[in-house]
Amino acid sequence: MSSKLSGRRRFLRDSAALVGLAAGVAPSADAQMSHSEAPPKDDKDNKDLIAYGERSRYVKSVRIPVMERMSPDEFGMTFHVLSPLQDSVGMITASSLHYVATHRGSYVPDIDPQEHRLMIHGMVDRPLIFTMDELKRLPFVTRAHFLECSGNRAKATHKTVQQTHGMTSCSEWTGVPLSLLLKEAGVQSGASFVVAEGAETVKGATSLPLAKCMDDCLVCYGQNGEPVRPQHGFPLRLIVPGYEGIHNVKYLRRIKVVNQHYMTYNDYGHLAADSRVAALTRQVGPKSVITFPSGEQKLPGPGFYEITGLAWSGSGAVRSVDISLDGGQSWTPAELRSPAYPMAHTRFGFHWTWDGKECVIMSRCTDELGTVQPTRAEIAKYWNVPNDKDLQIKGLDNSVFGWRVASDGSVHNGLA
Amino acid sequence: MVSRNLVLIVMILGLSQISRAQSPTYGVGRTPTAEEIRKLDISIGPDGKELPSGHGTAVEGAGVFLRKGCFTCHGENGSNGPAPTLIKSDGKTKSPYPCLNPCVNDSNLMSSHSPYATTIWDYINRAMPLTKEGTLKPNEVYALTAYLLYKNGIIREDEVMDAQSLPKVKMPNRDHFALAPEWKHGTPRLQGYP
């Protein structure tokens, strides 16, 4: 058996050397051998191979804190960290690279799942308390959903797509529909909102419309094939598909059914005098961004490139994505390259042969309701304000965003 | 043994009552005791119906603010500290700290922005002091809330805050806010928005 294996290995090695020769790469049989036949160097290698795998040491993609507030801050708290969208592929964000935001500053709690409980009470016939094991006995669903922080706003000072759009990510979430738990408890007539609360330092809480909770919210214990990670809410978090990130309560410990908006600390920060602005600070509008080529990347020269990026909407699935190569003058459909699930990141691609001339590339998302991602000019017109550098977009900024590709191949923020 | 029998009787009684109401489908999970609910339920709504008994004034609150070390993070006068501003600054002193993002001062100050004084009580009680949340007594939370309301010019220094008076405090933003429209499945976030 072992001689067979080593024979096969030798064949693979020789083939690899041949491929190297054919491709005009300087062959190094010794190097090939050391890659394919070296035994694990130490115990760490074995652990990695057997117990829990790590990525290649050559892959350097990491999250960074937002520019506007350092992390850790004065209190040792991590506030908001950005996902490296420029390196993203597919539609799912690795949990380790998923953006992180905390409820206006809190520490990540160390929760023993054996001790964790979820209580459902308030305007219900039967208040209920669940252990994690009990929750896992109930019917579950698995769905892909994006999360996005309301502060995910491109500024002229931002250089990379990580800075302009890095506070959105998409995971495969697994959990119990909140509607199932609420029906099990028996919601009383007159109820209209719930208050969802976490178990972290500040007991972050948020008010949610009961209609949304009965529609598609999930009480999740699984993320991307494993338990939700501590920074994302272990052992239990609420997913409110399509709503701004702050509503997706982490470390979920309590759901109280009530008859009015409860105006928690997190709620009042979203208040606006105008109900139109209030609407724009709850559900995420259709949005997209080109992740390649993007800020601080460099095209080596004219030729073929696949433009790619992500599109999403808080109102449903992405129907289509258009690309502009002339700063929004004309638009051509891109291809959707991943499944387009409701309230999930959808990957798009677009064949592009760059002629080496300066241009501004943009993407525009249309969701299943037919709502089209607005340009800054359209938003300015809606509010009847000038479309200039000082334009403050109300609510979550979902405006069309462009990258300027300079003739030397360097890529720059289109707002700069 | 006696108490165990009692528990059993109470459980059977409880079950027979539940069976008369619309019955649950799965029957997983248990009914929390009234005491369990009372301990966990820290939500205070705008009408203040969950507020506990107790009371406090601004004068008492000034003492609590010092005694509990609130000033170490929020600044001696409730501003210019590393933590969010609690009391409108006189505008003369410049904070040595960057305003945390989202920047909580002036118009975004809880006392100016929240339409209900209950929000302040709720947040102090649920979250403060940082990492020692849940340790303040109701009287201390009433006193701190009164202190912040007084220092921001909303109530008089001698007004007593309790479960009756706190929900009645007229906040500056009480009539100047809107909630998002009723949410329905399959609707855009704002009809007519481009």
Residue B105 pLDDT greater than 70, yes or no: no
Closest by Cα among A309, A288, A280 to A392: A280
Tokens of B50: 């969950």
Work out the number of other CB atoms within 10 angstroms of the CB of residue B18: 16
Segments forming the whole domain that contains residue B161: 57-168
Residues 6+ apart with CB under 8 A from A11: none
Q: What is the CATH number for A216?
A: 3.90.420.10
pLDDT digits (tens, 9 = 90+) for B8-54: 554 554 444 444 456 789 999 999 999 999 999 999 999 999 999 99
A244 with A118, same domain: the answer is: yes
State mean pLDDT over B93-111: 69
- Return the higher-pLDDT residue of A40 and A330: A330
A17 with A70, same domain: the answer is: no
DSSP letter string, B128-181:
-STT-TT-S-HHHHHHHHHHHHHHTTSS-TTPPEETTTGGG---TTTTS-BPPP
Residue B159 pLDDT greater than 90, yes or no: yes
pLDDT digits (tens, 9 = 90+) for A181-196: 999 999 999 999 999 9
Q: How many domains does chain A have?
A: 3
Q: How confident is the model at residue A90 (pLDDT cuts 50, 70, 90)?
A: very high
- Is B22 within a domain? no
Residue A17 pLDDT greater than 60, yes or no: no
Q: How confident is the model at residue A2 (pLDDT cuts 50, 70, 90)?
A: very low
Question: Per mean pLDDT, which range of A78-82, A205-209, B25-29, B130-134 is the poorest?
Answer: A78-82
Q: How confident is the model at residue A294 (pLDDT cuts 50, 70, 90)?
A: very high
pTM, to two decimals: 0.88
Contact A203 B47 (CB under 8 A): no
Euclidean distance between CA atoms A222 and A334, whole angstroms = 32
DSSP letter string, B4-17:
HHHHHHHHHHHHHH
Contact B108 A253 (CB under 8 A): no
Segments forming the whole domain that contains residue A98: 64-271
A250 with A396, same domain: the answer is: no
For residue B9, the model assigns a pLDDT of: 53
Tokens of A138: 């109930």
For residue B102, the model assigns a pLDDT of: 57
For residue A267, the model assigns a pLDDT of: 87
B 57-86: CB under 8 A from A:
73, 82-83
State mean pLDDT over A153-158: 95
Euclidean distance between CA atoms B124 and B48, whole angstroms = 15
pLDDT digits (tens, 9 = 90+) for A47-57: 778 889 999 99
Euclidean distance between CA atoms A264 and A270, whole angstroms = 10
Euclidean distance between CA atoms B113 and B104, whole angstroms = 10
Distance from CA of B41 to the nearest CA of A (A): 8
- Specify burial of residue B138 (Cβ count, 10 A radius: 0-12, 13-18, 19+): middle
- Residue of chain A with shortest Cα separation from B14: A126
Contact A272 B178 (CB under 8 A): yes
Contact B114 A369 (CB under 8 A): no
Residue A10 pLDDT greater than 50, yes or no: no
State mean pLDDT over A206-233: 97
Cis preceding linkage at A235, omega within 30: yes
Residue A21 pLDDT greater than 60, yes or no: no
- Is A337 within a domain? yes
Cα torsion through A62, A66, A67, A71, rounded to 10: -90
A221 with A316, same domain: the answer is: no
State mean pLDDT over A57-66: 94
Q: How confident is the model at residue A236 (pLDDT cuts 50, 70, 90)?
A: very high
For residue A229, the model assigns a pLDDT of: 97
DSSP letter string, A244-260:
-GGGS-SSEEEEEEESS
A98 with A156, same domain: the answer is: yes
Distance from CA of B105 to the nearest CA of A (A): 11
Q: How confident is the model at residue A354 (pLDDT cuts 50, 70, 90)?
A: very high
Residue A38 pLDDT greater than 70, yes or no: no
Q: How confident is the model at residue A26 (pLDDT cuts 50, 70, 90)?
A: very low
Euclidean distance between CA atoms A382 and A375, whole angstroms = 11
Q: How confident is the model at residue A79 (pLDDT cuts 50, 70, 90)?
A: confident
- Is B6 within a domain? no
Dihedral pair phi/psi, residue A82, rounded to 5°: -100, 140
Residue with tokens 């709620």: A267
Q: B96 in contact with A at a CB cutoff of 8 Å?
A: no
Distance from CA of B185 to the nearest CA of A (A): 7
Q: What is the CATH number for B141?
A: 1.10.760.10
Residue A42 pLDDT greater than 80, yes or no: no
A248 with A381, same domain: the answer is: no
Alpha-helical (H) ranges within A87-166 are 132-137, 161-165
Q: How many domains does chain B have?
A: 1
Size of interface A-B (CB pairs under 8 A): 196
A292 with A266, same domain: the answer is: no
> What letter would DSSP give residue A276?
H
> In chain B, which residues have their Cβ closer than 8 Å to the Cβ of A375?
194
Of B40, B185, B194, the CB nearest to A254: B40
Q: A197 in contact with B at a CB cutoff of 8 Å?
A: yes
Closest by Cα among A115, A401, A59 to A236: A115
How far is Cα of residue B57 from the mean position of the Cα atoms in its chain? 17
Q: How confident is the model at residue A8 (pLDDT cuts 50, 70, 90)?
A: very low
- Is B82 within a domain? yes
A209 with A323, same domain: the answer is: no
- Specify burial of residue A262 (Cβ count, 10 A radius: 0-12, 13-18, 19+): buried
For residue B123, the model assigns a pLDDT of: 94
Contact A186 B82 (CB under 8 A): no
> In chain B, which residues have their Cβ closer than 8 Å to the Cβ of A317?
none
Work out the number of other CB atoms within 10 angstroms of the CB of residue A272: 18
Angle value at C-alpha A270, between A268 and A275, nearest 5 degrees: 110
A78 with A177, same domain: the answer is: yes
Q: How confident is the model at residue A20 (pLDDT cuts 50, 70, 90)?
A: very low
Q: How confident is the model at residue B157 (pLDDT cuts 50, 70, 90)?
A: very high
A229 with A323, same domain: the answer is: no
- Is B125 within a domain? yes
For residue B101, the model assigns a pLDDT of: 54
> In chain A, which residues have their Cβ closer than 8 Å to the Cβ of B113?
268-269, 271
A185 with A295, same domain: the answer is: no
> What letter would DSSP give residue B127?
H
Mean pLDDT of chain A: 90
Q: How confident is the model at residue A280 (pLDDT cuts 50, 70, 90)?
A: very high
> In chain A, which residues have their Cβ closer than 8 Å to the Cβ of B176?
273
pLDDT digits (tens, 9 = 90+) for B116-133: 999 999 999 999 998 899
Q: B95 in contact with A at a CB cutoff of 8 Å?
A: no
Euclidean distance between CA atoms A277 and A274, whole angstroms = 5
